[in-house]
Each structure stands twice: as structure tokens, then as C-alpha cells.
Amino acid sequence: MPNRTVDKVAVEARAASFKTRSIKKDSKRQGLLMVSSMIDLTTLEGKDSAAKVRALCQKAVQPDASLPHVSPVAAVCVYPRWVSLARELVADSGVKVASVATAFPSGQVDLETKLADVRAAVTAGADEIDMVIHRGAFLSGQLQVVADEIRAVKDACAAAHLKVILETGELETYDNVVRASELAIASGADFIKTSTGKVSPAATMPVTLVMLETIRSHFLATGQMIGMKPAGGISTAKDALHYLVMLKETLGDAWLTPEWFRFGASSLLNDVLLQLHRLESGQYAAHYDVTES
């Protein structure tokens, strides 16, 4: 594997440049609708309950009853124990069920336990598996351990899509982000994902740009498309639109679909809905104009 290095200053300057575009009126409306269709509506908390998952799935299938033109989100993302319930609730709405597995968020258990976690989620009906890499092994240079784990998980996924979470907030440098992205892609990842959302910083624009560039290099070398999912910390519609600008100007239109790009988020959807309400009515909406979950 070639040892790529990243120009930190240039990446951060380029990422910041995507924030200066003015997106108004109809392009904003279209952008917002695209954002909502790309959301993996997520609940990953110790206090998750059946009622919470029900509310989440309901919102995923119909984000806002008063905005019928807003299509369902891309997926719901839950812990493995809620997969079967979520599967039943989203039914044939087109919303996918994603589950974190492999001892999310730390990944600090042995491989057999991770694989059992993955198989359980797949058997329960998960369409997509979000795994975490073994960051301890990665940072201590045991790249083969990380690669073998990803491969084993990919096998356990069977038909389910595999998203590999790099947890970039723990990887220290952009060079490591490139290395981890390449490793994940070479080991069978369908998607690469920035973060668990449990570590700060989570997704940032520069880190996402570095990962998008890695996907581009891979595509130019092999012709194979890999998906991208920034997760954690993207909570406003404005931020999300900046990400779409970055995506379009880095990977192009082919990636501008929920099939190749997702936002892992819980509060982003409500901000998007509030913005859409404003575009409809001309007035800023109230917090009680949207549902909680």
C-alpha cells in the first residue's frame, strides 16, 4: 500500500471553502429534500426503549405529516437488540434497517463475540451493519489484525451492506485517516464512516474530505464505487448542505444519492424540517412544529 500523506493546511482550507456557497430558495429546497432522504436516523443510547424505536421508525417512514413531499429517510440506525422491532415497523416503506455491531462503540471484545453480534443483527433483519474498527490495534501498527477483523465481519454480513466506522476522532492525524480508509476499502467495506458519535470530535468537513478523496483515488484506480457516511456532530441543515457541496465537487453527481452517501444523525432531520417549514410558510417555525424523536 503506498504511503500517502495529507497536506493538513490545504485540506482544511479547501474544506472551509465549501462553506462559502450561497444556497437559497429552490436550490435550498431541493438540497434539503436530498439531505432528508440521505439521513440514517439514529438512536444509540443506553436509554433506548421499544417506545423510542417505535417513534424513531414512525418518523423515518413519514418525517412530517404536514410536509407530505418529504420522502422517508434512508435508514434507521439502532442497536442490535432493536433490529427485529425496527424491521417490523419500517416494513416495506423502503427505509433500511442499519445496526451497529461489533461491540459498538469501543469494539473492545474478541473477534468471536463481534462476529456473533453481527450474525445476530443480520439474522434479525438488518440490511446494513455499521462496524467499528479496532483502533487500539490500528494505532499500534497491527494493521493486519484490523484488516482481518474487517474481512471476517464482511463474511458474517452475508448480503448485508457493511459500513466501517474509523472513529477519526481517535486516529490523531489525517495520514492515519487515509491509511484506515484504504485499509477498510481493501478489506471489503461497502461504506466508510467517520465516527460513532460517542467521541469528540466526530465528523468534521476536513476529515470527510480526506475520506472522500480516498474514495476518489480508489475509484480512479479500480472503477469501484465506495459509499461515505459522515456521522455525529452534523446537526444543522446548513452544515448538511455544505457537506453536499463538498460531495458534489469531490466525487460528482454519481454519489449524490442515498445509495452512496448518508448522514448519521439524530437531530439533523428536525432542523431540515424546520427549514422546509420556513420555505413553505415564509415564517420561522416553532420547536413544537416538529416531533421530538
Binding footprint of another protein on the chain (CB under 8 A)? 282-287, 289
Residue of 59, 163, 193, 271 marked catalytic: 193
Q: Find the shortest distance in angstroms from Cβ 270 to another protein.
A: 12
Residue 130 is a catalytic residue: yes
Q: Is the Cβ of residue 170 or residue 289 nearer to another protein in the bound state?
A: 289
Of 37 and 235, the one with the shorter C-beta distance to another protein is 235
User: Is 17 or 113 the residue whose CB approaches another protein more closely?
Assistant: 17
- Closest approach of Cβ 158 to another protein, in Å? 44
CA distance 287 to 204: 26
Of 135 and 277, the one with the shorter C-beta distance to another protein is 277
Nearest to 276 by CA among 233, 237, 224: 237
Which residue in 3, 13, 4, 1 sits closest to 206, CA to CA? 13
Q: Which is nearer to another protein, 69 or 288 (CB)?
A: 288
Q: Cβ 93 to another protein, closest distance in Å?
A: 29
Annotate 125-191 with DSSP letters as a single string.
Answer: T-SEEEEEP-HHHHHTT-HHHHHHHHHHHHHHHTTSEEEEE--GGGS-SHHHHHHHHHHHHHTT-SE
> 269: number of CA atoms within 13 Å, CB side?
33
Contact 192, 160 (CB under 8 A): no
Catalytic residue among 28, 96, 163, 229: 229
What is the rounded CA–CA span in Å between residue 169 and residue 231? 11
CB nearer to another protein: pick between 77 and 237: 237
Concerning whether 229 is annotated as a catalytic residue, the answer is yes
CB of 38 to another protein, least distance (A): 23
Please answer whether residues 273 and 67 qualify as being in contact, where contact means their C-beta atoms are separated by less than 8 angstroms: yes
Of 40, 117, 130, 239, which is the active-site residue?
A: 130
How far apart are CB 238 and another protein at their closest, in Å? 10
Active site residues: 130, 193, 229
